[in-house]
A and B are shown apart, each in its own frame.
Chain A
Amino acid sequence: MIYSAKVMDHFSNPRNVGELADANGIGEVGNAKCGDIMKIYLKIDHDIITDVSFKTFGCGAAVATSSMATELIKGKPIREALQMTNKAVVEALDGLPAVKIHCSVLAEEAVHAAIADYLVKQGKDPADYGVKVPHCEGSCGCCDHCGE
Protein backbone atom coordinates (compact mmCIF):
# COMPACT_ATOMS: atom_id res chain seq x y z
CA MET A 1 0.00 0.00 0.00
CA ILE A 2 1.50 3.26 -1.08
CA TYR A 3 0.33 6.77 -0.25
CA SER A 4 0.60 9.67 -2.67
CA ALA A 5 3.10 12.45 -1.97
CA LYS A 6 0.14 14.73 -1.18
CA VAL A 7 -1.15 12.31 1.47
CA MET A 8 2.30 12.04 3.03
CA ASP A 9 2.61 15.83 3.00
CA HIS A 10 -0.70 16.28 4.82
CA PHE A 11 0.17 13.46 7.22
CA SER A 12 3.60 14.76 8.13
CA ASN A 13 2.62 18.44 8.11
CA PRO A 14 -1.06 18.41 8.94
CA ARG A 15 -2.84 21.76 8.43
CA ASN A 16 -5.15 23.16 11.09
CA VAL A 17 -4.41 20.55 13.72
CA GLY A 18 -5.43 21.14 17.33
CA GLU A 19 -8.36 22.42 19.30
CA LEU A 20 -10.17 25.68 18.61
CA ALA A 21 -10.87 27.48 21.87
CA ASP A 22 -13.77 29.56 20.53
CA ALA A 23 -15.33 26.92 18.30
CA ASN A 24 -19.09 27.17 17.97
CA GLY A 25 -19.55 23.94 16.05
CA ILE A 26 -17.86 20.67 17.02
CA GLY A 27 -18.41 17.29 15.39
CA GLU A 28 -16.90 13.93 16.24
CA VAL A 29 -17.35 10.77 14.16
CA GLY A 30 -15.90 7.26 14.12
CA ASN A 31 -14.93 5.17 17.08
CA ALA A 32 -11.75 3.90 18.66
CA LYS A 33 -12.67 0.27 18.15
CA CYS A 34 -12.54 0.76 14.40
CA GLY A 35 -9.30 2.67 14.74
CA ASP A 36 -10.52 6.07 13.50
CA ILE A 37 -11.93 9.06 15.34
CA MET A 38 -12.17 12.50 13.75
CA LYS A 39 -13.13 15.61 15.61
CA ILE A 40 -13.63 18.85 13.73
CA TYR A 41 -13.87 22.29 15.36
CA LEU A 42 -15.50 25.16 13.48
CA LYS A 43 -15.64 28.86 14.16
CA ILE A 44 -18.61 30.09 12.14
CA ASP A 45 -19.53 33.74 11.74
CA HIS A 46 -22.72 34.64 9.83
CA ASP A 47 -22.75 31.16 8.29
CA ILE A 48 -19.14 31.55 7.08
CA ILE A 49 -16.46 29.19 8.38
CA THR A 50 -13.86 31.66 9.56
CA ASP A 51 -11.64 29.11 11.30
CA VAL A 52 -11.39 25.37 11.47
CA SER A 53 -9.24 22.76 13.20
CA PHE A 54 -9.20 19.04 13.78
CA LYS A 55 -8.02 16.27 16.05
CA THR A 56 -7.75 12.74 14.73
CA PHE A 57 -6.95 9.31 16.12
CA GLY A 58 -6.18 7.10 13.17
CA CYS A 59 -3.91 6.03 10.38
CA GLY A 60 -1.96 8.17 7.94
CA ALA A 61 -4.95 8.48 5.62
CA ALA A 62 -7.23 9.50 8.49
CA VAL A 63 -4.88 12.34 9.44
CA ALA A 64 -4.35 13.41 5.83
CA THR A 65 -8.07 13.43 4.94
CA SER A 66 -8.85 15.42 8.10
CA SER A 67 -6.18 17.92 7.21
CA MET A 68 -7.33 18.24 3.59
CA ALA A 69 -11.00 18.51 4.54
CA THR A 70 -10.25 21.42 6.86
CA GLU A 71 -8.34 23.14 4.07
CA LEU A 72 -11.21 22.65 1.63
CA ILE A 73 -13.85 24.22 3.88
CA LYS A 74 -11.86 27.05 5.43
CA GLY A 75 -13.40 30.44 4.64
CA LYS A 76 -16.39 28.85 2.90
CA PRO A 77 -20.07 29.49 3.61
CA ILE A 78 -21.51 26.48 5.39
CA ARG A 79 -23.83 25.61 2.50
CA GLU A 80 -20.77 25.37 0.28
CA ALA A 81 -18.82 23.36 2.86
CA LEU A 82 -21.68 20.89 2.97
CA GLN A 83 -21.18 20.29 -0.77
CA MET A 84 -17.66 18.98 -0.14
CA THR A 85 -17.81 15.27 -0.89
CA ASN A 86 -15.43 12.56 0.25
CA LYS A 87 -14.53 12.23 -3.44
CA ALA A 88 -13.32 15.83 -3.49
CA VAL A 89 -11.08 15.06 -0.53
CA VAL A 90 -9.68 11.99 -2.27
CA GLU A 91 -9.04 13.93 -5.48
CA ALA A 92 -7.38 16.79 -3.63
CA LEU A 93 -5.03 14.24 -2.07
CA ASP A 94 -4.18 12.72 -5.49
CA GLY A 95 -6.01 9.53 -4.55
CA LEU A 96 -6.14 7.08 -1.66
CA PRO A 97 -5.62 3.32 -1.52
CA ALA A 98 -8.99 1.52 -1.85
CA VAL A 99 -8.92 0.29 1.75
CA LYS A 100 -8.54 3.90 2.94
CA ILE A 101 -11.52 5.43 1.14
CA HIS A 102 -13.57 5.13 4.33
CA CYS A 103 -11.23 7.71 5.91
CA SER A 104 -12.41 10.29 3.38
CA VAL A 105 -16.03 9.35 4.13
CA LEU A 106 -15.29 9.94 7.80
CA ALA A 107 -13.81 13.37 6.98
CA GLU A 108 -16.96 14.39 5.09
CA GLU A 109 -19.11 13.13 7.94
CA ALA A 110 -17.07 15.01 10.53
CA VAL A 111 -17.62 18.28 8.64
CA HIS A 112 -21.37 17.60 8.49
CA ALA A 113 -21.47 16.71 12.19
CA ALA A 114 -19.67 19.91 13.17
CA ILE A 115 -21.96 22.07 11.03
CA ALA A 116 -25.01 20.28 12.44
CA ASP A 117 -23.78 21.06 15.94
CA TYR A 118 -23.48 24.73 15.03
CA LEU A 119 -26.92 24.87 13.44
CA VAL A 120 -28.61 23.18 16.39
CA LYS A 121 -26.96 25.65 18.73
CA GLN A 122 -28.34 28.45 16.52
CA GLY A 123 -31.80 26.98 16.86
CA LYS A 124 -31.83 25.97 13.20
CA ASP A 125 -32.75 22.65 11.66
CA PRO A 126 -29.71 20.97 10.04
CA ALA A 127 -32.03 19.22 7.59
CA ASP A 128 -32.93 22.59 6.06
CA TYR A 129 -29.27 22.98 5.10
CA GLY A 130 -28.95 19.48 3.69
CA VAL A 131 -26.75 18.16 6.48
CA LYS A 132 -26.24 14.44 6.15
CA VAL A 133 -26.70 12.38 9.27
CA PRO A 134 -23.46 10.41 9.65
CA HIS A 135 -24.10 6.81 8.85
CA CYS A 136 -21.98 3.73 9.03
CA GLU A 137 -20.60 2.62 5.69
CA GLY A 138 -20.04 -0.82 7.09
CA SER A 139 -16.57 -0.42 5.76
CA CYS A 140 -14.55 -1.22 8.84
CA GLY A 141 -16.43 -4.32 9.88
CA CYS A 142 -15.48 -4.17 13.52
CA CYS A 143 -18.15 -2.17 15.30
CA ASP A 144 -21.65 -2.95 16.47
CA HIS A 145 -23.14 -1.02 13.54
CA CYS A 146 -22.29 -3.84 11.23
CA GLY A 147 -24.31 -6.28 13.25
CA GLU A 148 -21.39 -8.29 14.59
Chain B
Amino acid sequence: MFVYADNAATTRIDPDVLQAMMPALQDLYGNPSTIYSKGREAHEALDRAREQVAKAINCRPNEVYFTSCGTESDNWAIRGIARHYASKKGKHIITTNIEHHAVLETLKAMEKEGYEVTFLPVNEEGFVTAEQVEQAIRPDTVLITVMTANNEIGSIQPIEEIVKVAKAHNVFVHTDAVQAVGHIPVDVQASGVDLLSLSGHKFHAPKGVGALYVRRGVIPDNLMNGGGQERNRRPGTENLAGILGLGAAIEKATANLERDMNYVSSLRDKLIEGIVKEIPCCKINTPSHDRLPGTVNVSIKYIEGESMLLMLDMNGICATSGSACASGDLDPSHVLLAIGLPHEVAHGSVRFSLCTKNTEEEVDYILSVLPKIAQRLRDMSPLWEEAKKNETF
Protein backbone atom coordinates (compact mmCIF):
# COMPACT_ATOMS: atom_id res chain seq x y z
CA MET B 1 0.00 0.00 0.00
CA PHE B 2 1.18 3.53 -0.77
CA VAL B 3 0.19 6.26 1.70
CA TYR B 4 1.04 9.91 1.17
CA ALA B 5 0.91 11.43 4.66
CA ASP B 6 3.06 14.52 4.19
CA ASN B 7 0.42 17.02 3.06
CA ALA B 8 1.89 19.79 5.19
CA ALA B 9 4.98 19.55 2.98
CA THR B 10 2.98 19.65 -0.22
CA THR B 11 -0.18 18.19 -1.73
CA ARG B 12 -1.04 16.53 -5.00
CA ILE B 13 -2.81 18.65 -7.62
CA ASP B 14 -6.54 18.00 -7.53
CA PRO B 15 -7.90 16.78 -10.91
CA ASP B 16 -10.46 19.64 -10.98
CA VAL B 17 -7.64 22.09 -10.32
CA LEU B 18 -5.64 20.66 -13.19
CA GLN B 19 -8.68 21.09 -15.45
CA ALA B 20 -8.96 24.73 -14.40
CA MET B 21 -5.29 25.29 -15.26
CA MET B 22 -5.33 23.64 -18.68
CA PRO B 23 -6.66 26.63 -20.66
CA ALA B 24 -3.69 28.74 -19.55
CA LEU B 25 -1.33 26.01 -20.75
CA GLN B 26 -3.08 25.84 -24.13
CA ASP B 27 -5.22 28.52 -25.79
CA LEU B 28 -5.24 31.10 -23.02
CA TYR B 29 -1.68 32.14 -23.68
CA GLY B 30 -2.14 35.89 -23.96
CA ASN B 31 -0.26 38.26 -21.72
CA PRO B 32 -2.86 39.68 -19.30
CA SER B 33 -1.19 43.12 -19.60
CA THR B 34 -2.01 43.47 -23.31
CA ILE B 35 -5.08 45.14 -24.74
CA TYR B 36 -6.07 42.82 -27.60
CA SER B 37 -8.63 40.03 -27.20
CA LYS B 38 -6.05 37.32 -26.42
CA GLY B 39 -4.69 39.41 -23.59
CA ARG B 40 -8.09 40.53 -22.35
CA GLU B 41 -9.37 36.98 -21.99
CA ALA B 42 -6.27 36.10 -20.01
CA HIS B 43 -6.86 39.15 -17.84
CA GLU B 44 -10.47 38.15 -17.26
CA ALA B 45 -9.33 34.70 -16.13
CA LEU B 46 -6.81 36.36 -13.79
CA ASP B 47 -9.59 38.52 -12.33
CA ARG B 48 -11.80 35.50 -11.74
CA ALA B 49 -9.03 33.71 -9.84
CA ARG B 50 -8.49 36.85 -7.75
CA GLU B 51 -12.20 36.86 -6.91
CA GLN B 52 -12.02 33.20 -5.90
CA VAL B 53 -9.19 33.95 -3.48
CA ALA B 54 -10.93 37.07 -2.14
CA LYS B 55 -14.13 35.16 -1.49
CA ALA B 56 -12.28 32.37 0.31
CA ILE B 57 -10.56 34.67 2.81
CA ASN B 58 -13.32 37.33 2.87
CA CYS B 59 -11.61 40.37 1.39
CA ARG B 60 -11.91 42.57 -1.70
CA PRO B 61 -10.33 41.21 -4.90
CA ASN B 62 -8.05 44.26 -5.11
CA GLU B 63 -6.55 43.32 -1.76
CA VAL B 64 -5.16 40.06 -3.23
CA TYR B 65 -1.70 40.04 -4.82
CA PHE B 66 -0.42 36.92 -6.53
CA THR B 67 3.15 35.88 -5.79
CA SER B 68 5.41 32.94 -6.59
CA CYS B 69 5.08 31.18 -3.23
CA GLY B 70 4.50 31.50 0.50
CA THR B 71 8.13 32.43 1.10
CA GLU B 72 7.87 35.37 -1.28
CA SER B 73 4.65 36.51 0.38
CA ASP B 74 6.30 36.37 3.82
CA ASN B 75 9.41 38.21 2.63
CA TRP B 76 7.36 40.85 0.89
CA ALA B 77 5.03 41.44 3.83
CA ILE B 78 7.77 41.69 6.43
CA ARG B 79 10.44 43.55 4.49
CA GLY B 80 7.90 45.67 2.69
CA ILE B 81 6.16 46.91 5.84
CA ALA B 82 9.44 47.45 7.65
CA ARG B 83 10.92 49.48 4.81
CA HIS B 84 7.84 51.61 4.28
CA TYR B 85 7.02 52.38 7.90
CA ALA B 86 10.33 52.11 9.79
CA SER B 87 11.11 55.80 9.37
CA LYS B 88 7.77 56.75 10.93
CA LYS B 89 7.34 54.03 13.52
CA GLY B 90 10.68 52.39 14.22
CA LYS B 91 12.66 49.26 13.55
CA HIS B 92 11.29 46.80 16.09
CA ILE B 93 9.46 43.64 15.00
CA ILE B 94 7.72 41.03 17.15
CA THR B 95 7.40 37.37 16.18
CA THR B 96 7.48 33.89 17.74
CA ASN B 97 10.24 31.32 17.89
CA ILE B 98 8.16 28.70 16.04
CA GLU B 99 7.69 30.55 12.75
CA HIS B 100 8.48 28.96 9.41
CA HIS B 101 12.02 29.55 8.11
CA ALA B 102 10.57 31.94 5.53
CA VAL B 103 9.77 34.30 8.40
CA LEU B 104 12.57 33.43 10.85
CA GLU B 105 15.41 33.67 8.34
CA THR B 106 14.01 36.89 6.88
CA LEU B 107 13.97 38.44 10.35
CA LYS B 108 17.43 37.13 11.20
CA ALA B 109 18.75 38.73 8.02
CA MET B 110 16.99 41.98 8.92
CA GLU B 111 18.61 41.97 12.37
CA LYS B 112 21.92 42.29 10.57
CA GLU B 113 20.47 45.25 8.68
CA GLY B 114 19.69 47.13 11.88
CA TYR B 115 16.22 45.90 12.83
CA GLU B 116 15.51 44.65 16.33
CA VAL B 117 13.43 41.50 16.60
CA THR B 118 11.70 40.02 19.63
CA PHE B 119 11.26 36.26 19.25
CA LEU B 120 8.53 35.31 21.70
CA PRO B 121 8.76 31.86 23.28
CA VAL B 122 5.79 29.50 23.11
CA ASN B 123 4.43 27.30 25.88
CA GLU B 124 4.85 23.51 25.93
CA GLU B 125 1.82 23.06 23.67
CA GLY B 126 3.19 25.48 21.10
CA PHE B 127 1.08 28.58 21.76
CA VAL B 128 1.95 32.23 22.19
CA THR B 129 -0.52 34.54 23.98
CA ALA B 130 -1.81 38.01 23.15
CA GLU B 131 -0.54 39.10 26.59
CA GLN B 132 2.99 38.11 25.62
CA VAL B 133 2.65 40.09 22.41
CA GLU B 134 1.28 43.13 24.24
CA GLN B 135 4.13 43.08 26.74
CA ALA B 136 6.63 43.01 23.90
CA ILE B 137 5.13 46.01 22.07
CA ARG B 138 7.33 49.13 22.22
CA PRO B 139 6.86 52.64 20.87
CA ASP B 140 9.11 51.72 17.96
CA THR B 141 7.34 48.44 17.08
CA VAL B 142 6.50 48.52 13.38
CA LEU B 143 5.19 44.99 12.79
CA ILE B 144 3.94 41.89 14.54
CA THR B 145 4.22 38.70 12.50
CA VAL B 146 2.74 35.53 13.99
CA MET B 147 1.84 32.42 12.02
CA THR B 148 -1.81 31.33 11.96
CA ALA B 149 -0.99 27.63 12.28
CA ASN B 150 2.31 25.90 12.87
CA ASN B 151 3.57 23.61 10.13
CA GLU B 152 5.25 21.06 12.38
CA ILE B 153 2.90 20.52 15.31
CA GLY B 154 -0.30 22.18 14.04
CA SER B 155 -0.94 24.62 16.90
CA ILE B 156 -3.30 27.47 15.90
CA GLN B 157 -2.31 30.86 17.33
CA PRO B 158 -4.79 33.37 18.80
CA ILE B 159 -4.52 35.77 15.85
CA GLU B 160 -7.75 37.69 16.57
CA GLU B 161 -6.63 38.49 20.12
CA ILE B 162 -3.17 39.44 18.92
CA VAL B 163 -4.72 41.81 16.36
CA LYS B 164 -6.79 43.44 19.12
CA VAL B 165 -3.74 44.32 21.21
CA ALA B 166 -1.82 45.35 18.09
CA LYS B 167 -4.59 47.73 17.00
CA ALA B 168 -4.69 49.25 20.48
CA HIS B 169 -1.04 50.17 19.94
CA ASN B 170 -1.38 50.99 16.24
CA VAL B 171 0.95 48.23 15.06
CA PHE B 172 0.55 46.26 11.80
CA VAL B 173 -0.06 42.51 11.96
CA HIS B 174 1.07 40.01 9.35
CA THR B 175 0.26 36.33 9.57
CA ASP B 176 1.80 33.42 7.69
CA ALA B 177 -1.36 31.40 7.05
CA VAL B 178 0.27 28.97 4.64
CA GLN B 179 -0.74 25.92 6.70
CA ALA B 180 -4.18 27.31 7.55
CA VAL B 181 -5.78 28.46 4.30
CA GLY B 182 -7.86 25.69 2.79
CA HIS B 183 -7.77 23.68 6.01
CA ILE B 184 -9.46 25.87 8.65
CA PRO B 185 -11.66 28.96 8.33
CA VAL B 186 -9.56 32.02 7.51
CA ASP B 187 -11.41 35.34 7.46
CA VAL B 188 -9.32 38.50 7.28
CA GLN B 189 -12.28 40.72 8.19
CA ALA B 190 -13.00 38.70 11.32
CA SER B 191 -9.37 38.46 12.37
CA GLY B 192 -8.46 41.99 11.33
CA VAL B 193 -4.93 41.15 10.13
CA ASP B 194 -3.27 43.64 7.81
CA LEU B 195 -1.35 41.14 5.72
CA LEU B 196 -1.71 37.40 5.20
CA SER B 197 0.48 34.95 3.27
CA LEU B 198 -0.88 31.86 1.57
CA SER B 199 0.56 29.20 -0.74
CA GLY B 200 -1.30 27.16 -3.36
CA HIS B 201 0.51 23.85 -3.15
CA LYS B 202 -0.61 23.33 0.45
CA PHE B 203 -4.20 22.86 -0.73
CA HIS B 204 -3.97 20.97 -4.02
CA ALA B 205 -2.92 23.80 -6.34
CA PRO B 206 0.45 23.50 -8.09
CA LYS B 207 3.77 24.60 -6.64
CA GLY B 208 5.10 28.01 -7.60
CA VAL B 209 2.08 30.15 -6.82
CA GLY B 210 1.04 32.02 -3.69
CA ALA B 211 -0.68 35.19 -2.68
CA LEU B 212 -0.39 38.03 -0.22
CA TYR B 213 -3.47 39.71 1.18
CA VAL B 214 -2.79 43.39 1.87
CA ARG B 215 -5.50 45.38 3.62
CA ARG B 216 -6.55 48.45 1.64
CA GLY B 217 -4.53 51.45 2.76
CA VAL B 218 -1.58 49.38 3.95
CA ILE B 219 1.49 49.85 1.76
CA PRO B 220 4.37 47.39 1.88
CA ASP B 221 7.26 48.59 -0.26
CA ASN B 222 7.81 46.47 -3.35
CA LEU B 223 10.39 43.68 -3.17
CA MET B 224 11.13 43.79 -6.88
CA ASN B 225 11.15 46.50 -9.50
CA GLY B 226 9.68 45.99 -12.91
CA GLY B 227 6.44 46.26 -14.80
CA GLY B 228 3.03 47.33 -13.59
CA GLN B 229 1.52 43.92 -12.88
CA GLU B 230 -0.52 43.36 -9.70
CA ARG B 231 -1.45 47.03 -9.56
CA ASN B 232 2.18 48.16 -9.56
CA ARG B 233 2.98 46.17 -6.43
CA ARG B 234 4.41 42.92 -7.73
CA PRO B 235 6.09 43.06 -11.14
CA GLY B 236 6.58 40.11 -13.45
CA THR B 237 4.33 38.46 -16.03
CA GLU B 238 1.71 36.48 -14.18
CA ASN B 239 1.98 32.71 -13.76
CA LEU B 240 -1.51 32.41 -15.14
CA ALA B 241 -1.76 28.61 -15.08
CA GLY B 242 -0.63 28.55 -11.46
CA ILE B 243 -2.95 31.39 -10.54
CA LEU B 244 -5.95 29.69 -12.15
CA GLY B 245 -5.01 26.56 -10.24
CA LEU B 246 -4.78 28.53 -7.01
CA GLY B 247 -8.21 30.06 -7.59
CA ALA B 248 -9.86 26.74 -8.34
CA ALA B 249 -8.11 25.02 -5.45
CA ILE B 250 -9.02 27.61 -2.83
CA GLU B 251 -12.64 27.58 -3.99
CA LYS B 252 -12.79 23.81 -3.76
CA ALA B 253 -10.95 23.64 -0.43
CA THR B 254 -13.31 26.12 1.22
CA ALA B 255 -16.57 24.93 -0.37
CA ASN B 256 -17.25 22.27 2.27
CA LEU B 257 -14.71 23.26 4.85
CA GLU B 258 -16.58 22.15 7.94
CA ARG B 259 -17.38 18.72 6.50
CA ASP B 260 -13.77 18.30 5.37
CA MET B 261 -12.39 19.42 8.73
CA ASN B 262 -14.58 16.89 10.53
CA TYR B 263 -13.45 14.14 8.22
CA VAL B 264 -9.73 14.90 8.43
CA SER B 265 -9.97 15.44 12.21
CA SER B 266 -11.49 11.99 12.59
CA LEU B 267 -8.53 10.48 10.74
CA ARG B 268 -6.11 12.47 12.90
CA ASP B 269 -7.81 11.37 16.12
CA LYS B 270 -7.80 7.74 15.02
CA LEU B 271 -4.10 7.95 14.20
CA ILE B 272 -3.20 9.61 17.51
CA GLU B 273 -5.28 7.16 19.53
CA GLY B 274 -3.75 4.21 17.72
CA ILE B 275 -0.19 5.43 18.21
CA VAL B 276 -0.70 6.08 21.92
CA LYS B 277 -2.32 2.67 22.35
CA GLU B 278 0.22 0.65 20.36
CA ILE B 279 3.53 2.34 21.13
CA PRO B 280 4.77 2.78 24.69
CA CYS B 281 6.93 5.77 25.64
CA CYS B 282 5.82 8.19 23.00
CA LYS B 283 4.82 11.83 23.29
CA ILE B 284 2.22 13.50 21.10
CA ASN B 285 3.65 16.91 20.20
CA THR B 286 0.48 18.13 18.51
CA PRO B 287 -1.60 20.06 21.06
CA SER B 288 -4.94 18.68 22.27
CA HIS B 289 -6.88 21.82 21.27
CA ASP B 290 -6.66 24.71 18.78
CA ARG B 291 -4.90 22.56 16.22
CA LEU B 292 -5.02 21.81 12.52
CA PRO B 293 -7.31 18.96 11.46
CA GLY B 294 -4.59 16.92 9.74
CA THR B 295 -1.39 17.24 11.76
CA VAL B 296 -0.01 14.47 13.94
CA ASN B 297 3.44 15.03 15.39
CA VAL B 298 4.77 12.38 17.73
CA SER B 299 8.10 11.67 19.37
CA ILE B 300 8.84 7.99 19.70
CA LYS B 301 11.43 7.96 22.40
CA TYR B 302 14.76 6.11 22.19
CA ILE B 303 14.80 5.94 18.40
CA GLU B 304 15.80 8.42 15.72
CA GLY B 305 13.50 10.04 13.19
CA GLU B 306 15.39 9.51 9.95
CA SER B 307 15.59 5.77 10.57
CA MET B 308 11.84 5.77 11.09
CA LEU B 309 11.25 7.68 7.86
CA LEU B 310 13.43 5.27 5.87
CA MET B 311 11.53 2.29 7.23
CA LEU B 312 8.17 3.98 6.67
CA ASP B 313 9.28 4.67 3.10
CA MET B 314 10.21 1.00 2.60
CA ASN B 315 6.61 0.28 3.57
CA GLY B 316 5.26 2.87 1.12
CA ILE B 317 4.46 5.57 3.68
CA CYS B 318 5.61 9.18 3.13
CA ALA B 319 6.04 11.21 6.32
CA THR B 320 8.60 13.64 7.70
CA SER B 321 10.67 14.15 10.82
CA GLY B 322 11.99 16.97 12.98
CA SER B 323 15.21 15.03 13.42
CA ALA B 324 18.41 16.85 12.53
CA CYS B 325 19.57 13.85 10.53
CA ALA B 326 16.46 13.85 8.38
CA SER B 327 16.83 17.48 7.41
CA GLY B 328 20.60 17.57 7.08
CA ASP B 329 20.67 20.30 9.72
CA LEU B 330 22.88 20.21 12.79
CA ASP B 331 20.06 20.69 15.26
CA PRO B 332 16.65 19.07 15.47
CA SER B 333 13.53 21.11 14.69
CA HIS B 334 13.46 24.57 16.26
CA VAL B 335 9.74 24.12 16.89
CA LEU B 336 10.17 20.93 18.90
CA LEU B 337 12.98 22.51 20.91
CA ALA B 338 10.77 25.58 21.44
CA ILE B 339 8.02 23.48 23.05
CA GLY B 340 10.65 22.19 25.44
CA LEU B 341 11.56 18.77 24.05
CA PRO B 342 15.07 17.60 24.92
CA HIS B 343 17.27 17.14 21.83
CA GLU B 344 17.11 13.35 21.99
CA VAL B 345 13.30 13.35 22.07
CA ALA B 346 13.10 15.88 19.24
CA HIS B 347 15.42 13.62 17.17
CA GLY B 348 12.82 10.86 17.51
CA SER B 349 9.90 12.80 16.10
CA VAL B 350 7.78 11.96 13.10
CA ARG B 351 5.04 14.05 11.51
CA PHE B 352 2.10 12.69 9.57
CA SER B 353 -0.06 15.32 7.88
CA LEU B 354 -3.38 14.14 6.52
CA CYS B 355 -5.86 15.68 4.10
CA THR B 356 -9.23 14.89 2.55
CA LYS B 357 -7.56 12.53 0.07
CA ASN B 358 -6.45 10.20 2.88
CA THR B 359 -8.66 7.33 3.97
CA GLU B 360 -9.38 5.40 7.12
CA GLU B 361 -7.79 2.34 5.52
CA GLU B 362 -4.59 4.32 5.09
CA VAL B 363 -4.61 5.29 8.76
CA ASP B 364 -5.15 1.64 9.65
CA TYR B 365 -2.20 0.75 7.46
CA ILE B 366 0.06 3.32 9.14
CA LEU B 367 -1.03 1.90 12.50
CA SER B 368 -0.22 -1.63 11.37
CA VAL B 369 3.29 -0.62 10.27
CA LEU B 370 4.51 2.05 12.69
CA PRO B 371 4.52 0.02 15.94
CA LYS B 372 6.60 -2.70 14.25
CA ILE B 373 9.09 -0.13 13.00
CA ALA B 374 9.31 1.44 16.44
CA GLN B 375 9.94 -1.97 18.00
CA ARG B 376 12.53 -2.94 15.40
CA LEU B 377 14.50 0.26 15.91
CA ARG B 378 14.16 0.09 19.67
CA ASP B 379 15.54 -3.45 19.62
CA MET B 380 18.59 -1.93 17.93
CA SER B 381 18.83 1.04 20.30
CA PRO B 382 21.19 1.13 23.28
CA LEU B 383 18.93 3.81 24.79
CA TRP B 384 15.95 1.48 24.81
CA GLU B 385 18.07 -1.14 26.55
CA GLU B 386 18.69 1.41 29.35
CA ALA B 387 15.11 2.67 29.36
CA LYS B 388 13.66 -0.78 29.83
CA LYS B 389 15.54 -1.04 33.10
CA ASN B 390 14.15 2.25 34.39
CA GLU B 391 10.68 2.71 32.92
CA THR B 392 7.65 0.75 33.88
CA PHE B 393 5.19 -0.17 31.15
Contacts and interface: CB of A to CB of B under 8 A. Distances in A.
Nearest to A7: B310
A31 to B, nearest CB: 8
Interface of B: 302-307, 310-311, 314, 323-326, 328, 330-332, 342-344, 347, 379-385
Contacts of A14: 380
Interface string A99-121: 11000000000000000000000
Interface centre among B323, B331, B385 (most CB of A within 10 A): B331
Given A14-B380, A63-B380, A142-B324, A58 B304 contact: yes
Given A1-B328, A32-B344, A35-B325, A59 B307 contact: yes
22 contacts: A1-B328, A12-B310, A32-B344, A33-B342, A35-B324, A36-B325, A37-B383, A55-B382, A56-B381, A57-B304, A57-B384, A58-B304, A58-B307, A58-B325, A59-B306, A59-B325, A60-B310, A61-B325, A63-B307, A63-B380, A97-B328, A142-B331
B326 A59 contact: yes
A130 interface: no
Contacts of A44: none
Contacts of B303: 57
Interface in A1-51: 1, 8, 11-12, 14, 17-19, 28, 32-39
Q: Quick one: which of A17, A57, A63, A100 has the most chain B CB within 10 A?
A: A57
Contacts of B314: 12
Interface residues of A, number: 32
Interface string A77-101: 0000000000000000000010110
B312 to A, nearest CB: 12
B330 A140 contact: yes
B385 A11 contact: no
Interface of A: 1, 8, 11-12, 14, 17-19, 28, 32-39, 55-63, 97, 99-100, 140-142
B385 A55 contact: yes
Contacts of A35: 304, 323-325, 332, 343-344, 347
Contact of B382 (A11, A39, A63): A39
A62 B304 contact: yes
Given A35-B325, A35-B344, A142 B330 contact: yes
A55 B305 CA distance: 16
A11 B307 contact: yes
B380 A56 contact: yes
A61 B304 CA distance: 11
Contacts of A37: 381-383
B385 A19 contact: yes
Nearest to B342: A33
Contacts of B347: 32, 35
Contacts of B323: 35, 59
B306 to A, nearest CB: 4
Contacts of B325: 35-36, 58-62, 100
Contacts of A28: 382
Given A18-B379, A58-B304, 11 more contacts: A11-B307, A12-B310, A28-B382, A32-B344, A32-B383, A33-B344, A37-B381, A59-B306, A59-B325, A100-B325, A142-B330
